[in-house]
Amino acid sequence: MDTAAARGLFESKYWGQYHCVRHAAPRLGSDGSVVLFSGWMSRKPMVGTSAPAAVDAAVEALTRVLSLELAPVRVNAVTPGMIDTPLWRARLSADEQRAFFERIGRDLPAGRPGTADDVAHAVQFLLENGFTTGAVLDVDGGQR
């Protein structure tokens, strides 16, 4: 990945979330909650993913530090795995989609790719659970 593309990942995924929290934090009540989004590449890397893995690791570190700095406001992160979304579907033909998601399902202990609802339930849990902070929650179907 060239430097401009890597910087773009940091600008959008890391700095975007950083600035959102920075500007929202003063407006949050003491019972507030923040959920950031990381990605599985930081802990389950693949060849050719150094920049996305570094961004995900930075978001996870930010989560843990902010959970201390903003306490009692709770700060957590969700790390989605292979989620069946329109973004994936836009990259593949109908036949490729079917084959791709069938293969993903076979490779995951959960037996299927994740859905947006799976991720939403995790976010809801983190927003509602008053005793969870500094956590990075994998929503990945058991991806190894």
Q: Which residues are catalytic?
A: 38
In whole angstroms, what is the distance from residue 64 CA to residue 107 CA? 30
Residue 9's closest CA among 47, 45, 44, 50? 50
Residue 42's closest CA among 61, 57, 21? 57
Sheet holding 33-37, edge to edge: 33-37, 74-80, 136-139
